[in-house]
Amino acid sequence: MCRIIFILLMSIQISFTACKNEGGSSNQLVIDSLAIGSTHLHYEFLPKETAETLVLIHQGMFDASVWKFQIDHFSNDFQILIYDMPAHGRSGSRIKDYKEHEYLQDLLDHLQIGKCHIAALSFGSIVAVEFALENPARVDKLILGSVGINGVIPSDVEYVKHVNAYINNIQLNKLQEAAQNLARISLTGPNRELEEIDAEIVSFTLEKIENHLAKGFWKEAPNFTQPPSRVRLKEIKQPVLLIHGEADYDYIKGNINEMAAAFDNVQIKTLASVAHMVNYEDPKQFNRVMDEFLEDN
């Protein structure tokens, strides 16, 4: 049971990255798969000559399609790179002992993308922070939303209730019920019900989670750096934007406060009337605060 809890906590954490282009002139969408050891990483790349690159990294249990509103918004000014993380979507399984940020590192190297602005939501924020810690010269700015921190165990009563219900259903192989539990964690926060959320958002969320569970990817635990990046947060020297939804769980707000105390150059934005999926539930509000931060010199 402890292993299931660990995998869940690490999985329910989205990320987005902006990187400076080091060449390339094509403007046609490239859909491809990068071989990494015994696995492969599905990615889609929309080049734009002389532009910075936005690498959009989805949250745990989903795939890169969660970024459709950001692709529409940012593609006029940026190159766009999205990929399915290992053990997600159209990518293959994780490689034993291969760390989560190393897949991103390999993909950027393959596409010859250099210095980056990195943003991340939830699970992706752990990947972004660890990439920045291991590759500080490649990162300009960090945008971290609904942040996860490697080393923090949530204790919210309502959150733990849904986690325990998920564990019970997954052990009984009740995948649809387990998906409902995870959808609540992703969408409602402590004070809302699924029935209050837009039906299209709920349907999309359930489809992605059910697909993830059906493939059995949930059994694969992620591999992060040691010691946990929580103890190294003060090493982050880049400008940081922290974004969270006012309806999200208290432990996310606690993570925001812990990061804010560790970083030297930080801004905090609270998005009204949304919970954990800030980029999907209210993309206009999310895109606006990202625009303002990226445009601020």
Give the integer Cα–Cα distance in Å for 104 and 42. 11
Rank 39-43, 73-77, 117-121, 219-223 by mean pLDDT and report only the highest.
39-43
Share of the chain above pLDDT 90, in %: 73
Mean pLDDT of the 168-196 span: 94
261: tokens are 């105390």
Q: How far lies 223's CA from each of 78, 193, 201, in Å?
A: 30, 33, 30
Give the integer Cα–Cα distance in Å for 272 and 177. 29
Give the integer Cα–Cα distance in Å for 42 and 35. 9
Q: What is the mean pLDDT of the chain?
A: 89
Q: Domains of the chain, with CATH numbers?
A: 13-152+221-295 (3.40.50.1820), 157-219 (no CATH)
Grouping H, G, I as helix, E, B as strand and the rest as coil, residue 137 is: helix
Is residue 123 within 8 Å of residue 131, measured between CB atoms?
A: no
Composition of the chain by helix, strand, coil, percent to 5? 45, 20, 35
Answer yes or no: is pLDDT of 155 > 50.
yes
Grouping H, G, I as helix, E, B as strand and the rest as coil, residue 173 is: coil
224-265 confidence digits (pLDDT tens) = 999 999 999 999 999 999 999 999 999 999 999 999 999 999
Grouping H, G, I as helix, E, B as strand and the rest as coil, residue 8 is: helix
How far does the chain reach from its first CA to its final CA, in angstroms? 47
What pLDDT score does 18 carry? 55
71-128 confidence digits (pLDDT tens) = 889 888 889 899 999 999 999 999 999 999 999 999 999 999 998 888 888 998 999 9
Grouping H, G, I as helix, E, B as strand and the rest as coil, residue 60 is: coil
Q: Residues 160-183, buried b or exposed e (16+ Cβ, 10 A)?
A: eebbebbbebbeeeebeebbbbbb
Bridge partners of 118, per DSSP, are 17, 142
What pLDDT score does 1 carry? 53
128-145 confidence digits (pLDDT tens) = 999 999 999 998 899 999
Which residue from 147, 99, 104 is spatially nearest to 126, judged by alpha carbons? 147
What pLDDT score does 22 carry? 45
Q: Residues 204-220, buried b or exposed e (16+ Cβ, 10 A)?
A: bbbebbbbbbeeebbeb
